[in-house]
A and B are shown apart, each in its own frame.
Chain A
């Protein structure tokens, strides 16, 4: 898919969905956000940057999210 503002917003939607799912499952607190960073992205290079903020209830070390792509985050 070509990179543009809309695909950046789709990335934000996808990450937000993943965080909502994690929150509904009780994995993270309900104060979370996913934001597409347009100024830090580069459409020509196909680079999209998004910022996610969330906090877990317990001191979990790894959380796996499955949005458009799969990746693993360490909270330490």
Chain B
């Protein structure tokens, strides 16, 4: 038994009109963060101790570091002020024992959180870091697919929306 390793990846930024910009050669770190679900931890009568009740997901922030900036990426990031931009991550999960590989795709859409102007050190690569607040997630892990779209009450797991009943009851 061996867990899959993820070493090879790249990502593309799509501007507010859907035009893609690759970041090969300059991206160094990508922290996609996590979708945190807060819990109501009030004590209630009728239960011996706290029963944690899940609330709705909190905001999610993505942080990206690059060692350079391109004109296209600069344009794409700035376009995020007047519309949402997207980030598409493509990766490979490989199992070194069996030699098999699995494709991973993550699409995140949201608004730009910070626009980098760069950190400069003499004789070193300049560093740029930008953040994005996420309003939509589409993650494909091999054949397992998850879609989160809070605007449309979507929490899809392999094509089934677990919020379908809530959405229908609300009539949205």
Give the B-binding residues of A (Cβ under 8 A).
Answer: 1, 5-6, 9-10, 13-18, 20-21, 23-24, 30, 66-68
Give the distance to chain B from A34, nearest Cβ to Cβ, in Å.
10
Q: Mark B52-90, 1 if CB is under 8 A from A, else 0.
A: 000000000000000000000000000000011010101
Assign chain B's interface to a size class.
20 to 34
A-B contact pairs, 26 of them (CB 8 A): A6-B90, A9-B105, A9-B107, A10-B12, A10-B14, A10-B88, A13-B14, A13-B18, A13-B88, A13-B107, A14-B20, A14-B86, A15-B18, A16-B138, A17-B18, A17-B86, A17-B109, A18-B18, A20-B109, A21-B83, A21-B84, A24-B151, A66-B17, A66-B18, A67-B18, A68-B18
Majority secondary structure of chain A interface residues (helix, strand, loop or mixed): helix
Contact of A1 among B20, B90, B138, B172 (CB under 8 A): B20
Within the assembled complex, what's the spacing in Å between the Cα atoms of A68 and B19? 5
- Indicate if B103 sits at the interface (CB-CB under 8 A): yes
Q: Are A30 and B172 in contact (CB under 8 A)?
A: yes
- Indicate if B119 sits at the interface (CB-CB under 8 A): no
Which B residue sits closest to A12, measured CB to CB?
B107
Which B residue sits closest to A18, measured CB to CB?
B18
Within the assembled complex, what's the spacing in Å between the Cα atoms of A13 and B87? 9
Q: Are B136 and A20 in contact (CB under 8 A)?
A: yes
Within the assembled complex, what's the spacing in Å between the Cα atoms of A69 and B77? 19
Which B residue sits closest to A31, measured CB to CB?
B152
Q: Are B103 and A13 in contact (CB under 8 A)?
A: no
Also in contact, A13 and B86, with CB within 8 A (given A20-B109, A68-B18): yes
Interface centre among B20, B83, B86, B172 (most CB of A within 10 A): B20
Q: Are B152 and A30 in contact (CB under 8 A)?
A: yes
Which B residue sits closest to A66, measured CB to CB?
B17
Within the assembled complex, what's the spacing in Å between the Cα atoms of A1 and B152? 32
User: Which residues 98-117 of B sit at the A interface, judged by CB distance below 8 A?
Assistant: 103, 105, 107, 109
